[in-house]
Structure 1
Amino acid sequence: MAYDMKNDNISLEITIFSADIFYSNLKSVIEKNVRGDVKWFNFKVGYGFLNWNNKRIFVHQNEIIKKNGSLQKKILLQGDKVEFDIVQDELGLKAVNVSYLNIQSTLISKKNHQRQHRKKVKK
Structure 2
Amino acid sequence: MSDTKPVDAHSPECMKVSQVLSRLGDKWSVLVIMMLRERSQRFSELKRGIEDISQRMLTLTLRNLERDGLVSRTVTPSIPPRVDYELTPLGLSLAEPVQALGMWVFRNIGELSAAQARYDARERDHTSAA
Instruction: Determine if the TM-score, normalized by the shorter chain, exceeds 0.5.
Output: no
TM range (shorter): under 0.3
* Higher RCO (C-alpha under 8 Å, 6+ residues apart): 1
Larger radius of gyration: 1
* Structure whose residues are more often helix by fraction: 2
- TM-score, with structure 1 as normaliser: 0.25
